[in-house]
Structure 1
Amino acid sequence: MRWNMEWFLSLLTVVTLGQLVRCEENRCSRSRSRVARSILDKSFQDIMRKEELSPGTECLLKPERNMYWDDERHKWSEIANNWNCLYCGKSFYNEQFLDKHYDNRHGSTVLTGPEAVCLADHCDYLRCDIIASTKKTSFWEEALCKQKDLLVLRKKCQNIMKSCIPSHITDAEKNSLLDKLDDTVCSFLTCEKYWENPYKEVPPSRTAAYFIAGIFTVFGFIMYYVMACSHLYADEKEFLGDSDGFVRERSKLPDSRRYVSYPTNQGQSIRNRQGMVGDR
């Protein structure tokens, strides 16, 4: 009887852990959804804004269909380490803690039902890991790239873009818009372009470091120039004094007819003229 109870408890533990893992896997990632939303805003939504068009009703990429759309609109951050929940006014040190707060306290704000879309599910063709720089590519990944697999992803991307074309525009406008979306969003799904990041920006901290380094470099060149000029100017002086009583005068004659100075007890120099080398 005791053995049966232990076996039952062990089985119950395994099943419970399995359910928890499955729930975690099926849960839509807020961070990856945020990356996908950022990519779409810079590519898909940017083109739609320029064309002054709205996505079709069946489009999975409509901002309103993002299941975390309302939560993202209720975030406020003035500085990097201060994130505020506009539902209740609480503040957090980073965005991840704010996301957990939404999960724990404001779960009802998440869009559910058939209209809800998890943008993290679109990270495969949007290349979220590449754009977010969370994945470093290796030589072998690029060398062993399978064009056939990327072709499947590109076809998926093109079909989704096609479903987002508004129905009220002309066929010529549809084709033109589809070409722009394909070139901006789907064209990177090739082995040659898959690892490119068209949205990569230099972090502000790195930009400031480059600016400061540039200032120090210019200042160093100026100091070097000033010291070099001072040294050359000193060499051009007519007389130089020594502490041992020598007074050296720059020779006005060729090397073969220079004056040689000898010290005297009175600290004066007696100049003996040396003959020409050729006269020796």
Structure 2
Amino acid sequence: MTSTMGRRSIWVALLVISLLFSLRPQRVSSTLPLQSLNQGSKDSATESAPKQDWNDAREVHCSRERSRAAWKIIEEYLMPFVDKKKHKISTECRLHPDNDMFRDQEQHKTHLDFNDWKCGYCRKRFYEEKYLDQHFDNRHYDLLNVSRNKCMADLCGALHCDHVMDSVSQKKSKCNPAATARNKHMCEALADSCFPINQGVASHLHEFFLRQFCDAHTCSGKPKPFSRGRQVRTSWSYVVISVLTILIVLFFYVFVYLYKRGMRTRPQVLKRLSESGRKKKPS
């Protein structure tokens, strides 16, 4: 009886030991998903950090629209006079094209038709310019130079951007003497830095800049901005296209004139030929 119980206890012990060994791998494997889950959460955390930094980096505190207005003013009311004097603006001057963060993107715009704009980087087309601007912000942000002093919109106060962008609202708004004084000070600082008065031709452009932009920063209303007028620089391609168009129109009118003249003379020739043919007939 005792031997039988001893054998049973041995079998029970062996059964318990085998159960423990069979359960041990399951416990180890059950911890593996937790480890992989923790590792995955760490990887996702490390990946989310750069994305967050990228989103923060994409925040550009510079108005593209006002920068475009400032550059339009520079191109029409300043640069033609600078080119006429054969003067080159230094890159240290805030008015230099290299100091506009949007300049390269603006040069990669193609206005094909009234409702047809094309991106010069990837050739995508858009119905309106504002959608192309959004495309630049979303797809070609890495091409922006967001370093210091690259926002042309910061110069709008000195260059009278509001006068160009929305002249109606500006006429209704009241003049702020403090803001006017700040804008005039900024305008004079631009004249001093871009056109030093002790450098020959630059001194004449310094005087021109003061009269063209700075004198109008007053609440008296006189003189008006851009008192020295404007000049739009025409490109050679525009000149060539214009000349070709005039020649084509001229040739067209010459062709029409000769054609109509030939149609008028043709009946007379036929009439003479018919009369001569009748005279030769025998009676």
In which range does the TM-score fall when normalised by the shorter chain?
A: 0.5 to 0.7
The answer to whether residue 206 in structure 2 is matched with residue 178 in structure 1 is yes
Superposition map of 1:192-211 within 5 A: 192-193=220-221, 196=224
Q: Who is 1:154 aligned against? A: 184
> Quick one: structure 1 residues 166 and 137, their matched pair in 2 at CA, closer, same or farther if it must change by over 3 Å?
closer
CA distance in 1: counterparts of 2:93 and 2:116, whole angstroms: 34
Q: Who is 2:74 aligned against? A: 40
List alignment gaps of at least 5 residues for structure 2.
1-54, 231-283
Structure having the higher Rg? 2
Q: Who is 2:157 aligned against? A: 124
The answer to whether residue 140 in structure 2 is matched with residue 113 in structure 1 is no
Give the Å deviation of 1:79. 1.8
> Quick one: structure 1 residues 148 and 158, their matched pair in 2 at CA, closer, same or farther if it must change by over 3 Å?
same
CA distance in 1: counterparts of 2:79 and 2:171, whole angstroms: 31
Give the Å deviation of 1:59. 0.4
More helix by percentage? 2
List alignment gaps of at least 5 residues for structure 1.
1-19, 201-280
Q: Who is 2:89 aligned against? A: 55
CA distance in 1: counterparts of 2:160 and 2:77, whole angstroms: 13
> Quick one: structure 1 residues 168 and 89, their matched pair in 2 at CA, closer, same or farther if it must change by over 3 Å?
farther
Aligned to 2:169, the other structure's residue is in SS state coil
CA distance in 1: counterparts of 2:207 and 2:196, whole angstroms: 14
Q: Is the 8 A contact 1:55 1:166 kept in 2?
A: no
CA distance in 1: counterparts of 2:191 and 2:225, whole angstroms: 20
Percent of aligned pairs sharing the same letter: 30
Give the Å deviation of 1:176. 1.8
> Quick one: structure 1 residues 64 and 166, their matched pair in 2 at CA, closer, same or farther if it must change by over 3 Å?
farther
CA distance in 1: counterparts of 2:100 and 2:150, whole angstroms: 5
Deviation sequence 1:35-65 (CA, Å, 0-9, x none): 1110111122222112111112320110122
Give the Å deviation of 1:93. 0.7
CA distance in 2: counterparts of 1:160 and 1:44, whole angstroms: 12
Aligned length: 173
From 213, 218, 232, give the equivalent of 1:190.
218
The answer to whether residue 109 in structure 2 is matched with residue 75 in structure 1 is yes
CA distance in 2: counterparts of 1:133 and 1:82, whole angstroms: 25
Q: Which amino acid aligns with 1:133?
A: D
Deviation sequence 1:244-278 (CA, Å, 0-9, x none): xxxxxxxxxxxxxxxxxxxxxxxxxxxxxxxxxxx
Superposition map of 1:84-123 within 5 A: 84-114=118-148, 117-123=150-156
Q: Is the 8 A contact 1:44 1:185 kept in 2?
A: no
The answer to whether residue 166 in structure 2 is matched with residue 136 in structure 1 is no
Q: Which has the higher contact order (CA 8 A, sep 6+)?
A: 2
More strand by percentage? 1
> Quick one: structure 1 residues 121 and 148, their matched pair in 2 at CA, closer, same or farther if it must change by over 3 Å?
closer
Per the normalisation by structure 2, the TM-score is 0.54
Deviation sequence 1:54-87 (CA, Å, 0-9, x none): 1123201101221011101100002221110010
Per the normalisation by structure 1, the TM-score is 0.55
> Quick one: structure 1 residues 180 and 138, their matched pair in 2 at CA, closer, same or farther if it must change by over 3 Å?
closer
> Quick one: structure 1 residues 194 and 104, their matched pair in 2 at CA, closer, same or farther if it must change by over 3 Å?
farther
CA distance in 1: counterparts of 2:222 and 2:142, whole angstroms: 38
Q: Is the 8 A contact 1:76 1:84 kept in 2?
A: yes
Aligned to 1:136, the other structure's residue is in SS state helix
